Chains A and B, each alone.
Chain A
Amino acid sequence: MRLIWLLLLVPFAALAWVPFYNRISPEAFGFPFFYWYQLALVPITSVLTWIVYRRTRHDR
Chain B
Amino acid sequence: MTAEMNYPALAVFLFFFGLVTVMGFLAARWRRPKTLAHLDEWGLGGRQFGTWITWFLVGGDIYTAYTMIAVPALVYAVGAYGFFALPYTIMIYPFVFVVMPLLWKNAKDNDYVTAADVVHGRYGSRPLELAVALTGVIATMPYIALQLIGMETVIHALGLKGEIPLVLAFLILAFYTYSSGLRAPALIAFVKDIMIYIVVIAATVLIPAKLGGYGAIFHAADAAFKAKGSGGILLQPAQFPAYLSLAFGSALALFMYPHAITAVFASSGGDTIRRNAILLPAYSVLLGLLALMGYMGHAAGLKLANNNDVVPALFQSLFPGWFAGFAFAAIAIGALVPAAVMSIGAANLFTRNFWKAYVDPEVSHAGQTKVAKITSLLVKAGALLVILFLPTQFALDLQLLGGLWILQTFPAVIFGLYTGWFRAGGLLAGWATGFFGGTWLIWLNNYKPLHTLAFGDAKITLYSGLIALAANIAVAIVVSAALRLRPEPIPAPLKDSRFK
Residues of A within 8 A of B (CB): 5, 8-9, 11-12, 15-16, 18-19, 22-24, 27, 29-32, 34-35, 38-39, 41-43, 45-46, 48-50, 52-53, 57, 60
Find out whether the CB atom of A39 lies under 8 angstroms from the CB atom of B86.
Answer: yes
Q: A30-B213, A45-B90 are in contact. Are A35 and B83 (CB under 8 A)?
A: yes
Q: Is B97's CB within 8 Å of the partner chain A?
A: yes
- Among B97, B216, B284, point to the contact of A42 (Cβ < 8 A): B284
Which A residues touch B94, using CB under 8 A? 8-9, 11-12, 45, 48-49
Contact B91 A16 (CB under 8 A): no
**B234 in complex: contacting residue of A16, A22, A29, CB < 8 Å:** A22
Contact B87–A53 (Cβ < 8 Å)? no
Give the docked Cα–Cα distance between A35 and B217 (Å): 13
B 77-108 to A, binary, CB cutoff 8 A, 1 in contact else 0: 00010010011011101100110000000000
Cβ-defined partner of B281 (8 Å) among A8, A27, A46: A46
Residues of chain A contacted by B289 (CB below 8 angstroms) = 39
Known: A15-B244, A18-B240, A18-B244. A45 touches B281 (CB 8 A): yes
Give chain A's interface secondary structure class. Answer: helix
Number of A-B contacts (CB under 8 A): 97
- Closest chain A residue, CB of each to CB of B280: A46
* Chain A contacts for B215, CB-based, 8 A: 27, 30
- The yes or no answer to B218 lying at the interface (CB within 8 A) is yes
With A38-B288, A41-B87 given, name 15 new contacts (CB 8 A). A5-B98, A8-B97, A12-B91, A18-B244, A22-B235, A30-B208, A30-B216, A31-B214, A34-B233, A34-B235, A35-B288, A39-B86, A43-B285, A53-B274, A53-B275
User: Cβ of B194 < 8 Å from any Cβ of A?
Assistant: no
Interchain CA distance A35-B235 in the complex, whole Å: 11
- The verdict on B278 contacting chain A, using a C-beta distance below 8 Å, is yes
- A47 to chain B minimum Cβ distance, whole angstroms, is 8
A42-B90 CB under 8 A given contacts A49-B97, A57-B271: yes
Question: What are 10 sample pairs from A and B whose C-beta atoms fall under 8 A apart?
Answer: A12-B91, A18-B243, A22-B240, A29-B214, A30-B216, A34-B235, A39-B285, A42-B288, A48-B94, A60-B498
Q: Which has the most chain B C-beta neighbours within 10 Å: A22, A43, A48, A57?
A: A22
A53 and B97 contact, CB distance less than 8 A: yes
Contact check, B281 vs A42: say whether CB atoms are below 8 A apart: yes
Interface residue? B162 (CB, 8 A): no
Q: Chain B residues near A57 (CB, 8 Å)?
A: 271, 274
